[in-house]
Amino acid sequence: MMVKVCGMRDPENIRAVEQAGADLLGFICYTPSPRFVGSSAPRLSRCKRVGVFVNAPECYIYNMVKKLSLDYVQLHGNESPAFCRNLYQAGLRLVKAFSVSHAGMLDSTQAYAPYCDYFLFDTPCASYGGSGETFDWQMLLAYRASVPFFLSGGLSPGSLEALARFSHPLWVGIDLNSGFELAPGLKDARALHTFIKRFKDLRP
């Protein structure tokens, strides 16, 4: 089971979170976000890099992939299947985020499935990005596409019990952000270390 920690920005904190056991680190490439990473990130020894974009032009995505040496591009806006196809055909590895408000909306994932390595299911909110709230994961029992997915939205040190109860054959990881922050873009590496170890003991 993989752990992605998103909203990373500070070089020293990035290194500490990598050492805390994260598998992927998310860098927000959306300028209105208080966690916007800019155009550089420190070298990583182990973690994969994920750039998070919201309705960005293709040229901006390609530019940031190069600048940040991204392993994955996560699309968190209203990007179309055709847009994803273009990036996929250019050789990029994609994560497409969906806000889950009801089980029926999971049908829309089918059109994206041929072009995505992973989906990420999050809580709906008024703005782009996370809400800090958890949605009803039982809705994901209706998920029928073939793409593995990450759970996101409101995960915190108190989420372990709920994560232990949840099960789905295509669930491959979790996405952590504001529930482990000391300030926007600054994570509590000690709390993450404890949580990641306990989560991986529950979900190897």
Mean pLDDT of 91-107: 92
Residue 39 clears pLDDT 80, i.e. is over it: no
For the stretch 43-56, pLDDT in tens is: 787 899 999 999 99
Residue 128 clears pLDDT 60, i.e. is over it: no
Q: What structural domains does the chain harbor?
A: 2-202 (3.20.20.70)
Mean pLDDT of 158-165: 95
Judged by average pLDDT, the poorest of 23-27, 73-77, 92-96, 127-131 is: 127-131
What percentage of the chain exceeds 70 in pLDDT? 96
What percentage of the chain exceeds 90 in pLDDT? 82
Q: What is the DSSP track for 139-168?
A: GGGG---SS-EEE-SS--GGGHHHHHH---
Beta-strand ranges (E) seen in 35-142 are 48-53, 72-75, 94-99, 118-122
Residue 97 is predicted with a pLDDT of 96
Confirm whether pTM is higher than 0.85.
yes
Contacts for 96-100: CB closer than 8 Å, 24+ residues apart: 96/120, 97/121, 97/122, 97/152, 98/122, 99/123, 99/124, 99/125, 100/124, 100/135, 100/139, 100/140
- Cβ-count burial 87-116 (b if 16+ within 10 Å, e if not): bbeeebbbbbbbbbeeeeebeebeebeebb
Between these two residues, 130 and 94, which has the higher pLDDT value?
94
